[in-house]
Amino acid sequence: MNGRRSRPDPRSPVQPAGIGAAPLIVVVLFGLFAIWTLRDAWSGLLPESSPAPITKWKVPDQLPQSARGNLQAIFTPDDYPLFALWNEDQGTAKVRMEVDETGSVSDCAVVESSGSRSLDSATCRILEERARFTPAFDRTGRPVKDTYEQRITWRLEG
């Protein structure tokens, strides 16, 4: 031999054996048996399920709470309605807001007018757009709807 593999003679009645499917079947069956046998040992290492999402706010051992918020920072001098500036309107509007479970204002109504329709409508429009509250909570700690009343004073400087 010269170190090279020779090809079998196709005319010979004796042919070399090839690798058949039997070894592959044995390996697959052994692997399945090993997984089936070890599944109980592995089950403690794998998480049973993902944790449930938090769906409510928890306020432990407290009485129900009303909605809370600070409205001073949401009004700016640029918010003064142009029509009210022309008429030099000033006044205080008392508003009642419905605060939803997320702390947003879902409804606003003027309970006592400032005396100016443009100031009253601007008050509710700005509150509905910008006001954010800490929502109210019931006894179980779930956020609930609530009402919130506030007086907003419009005053011209100068």
pLDDT tens-digit series, residues 105-138? 999 999 999 999 999 999 999 999 999 998 999 8
* Cα distances (Å, whole numbers) of residue 142 to 69, 70, 97, 132: 18, 22, 20, 18
Assigned architecture for domain 72-154 = 2-Layer Sandwich (3.30)
pTM (2 decimals)?
0.58
| Residue 116, pLDDT score | 95
> pLDDT under 70 in the chain at which residues?
1-10, 12-22, 24, 36, 38-62
| Residue 14, pLDDT score | 62
| Residue 58, pLDDT score | 54
DSSP state for residue 36 in the 8-state scheme: H
131 in Cβ contact with 115 (< 8 Å)? no
| Residue 105, pLDDT score | 94
Distance, in Å, from the CA atom of 40 to the CA atom of 48, rounded to the nearest integer, reads 13
| Residue 85, pLDDT score | 93
| Residue 3, pLDDT score | 58
- Percent of the chain whose pLDDT exceeds 70: 68
DSSP-based three-state secondary structure for 143: strand
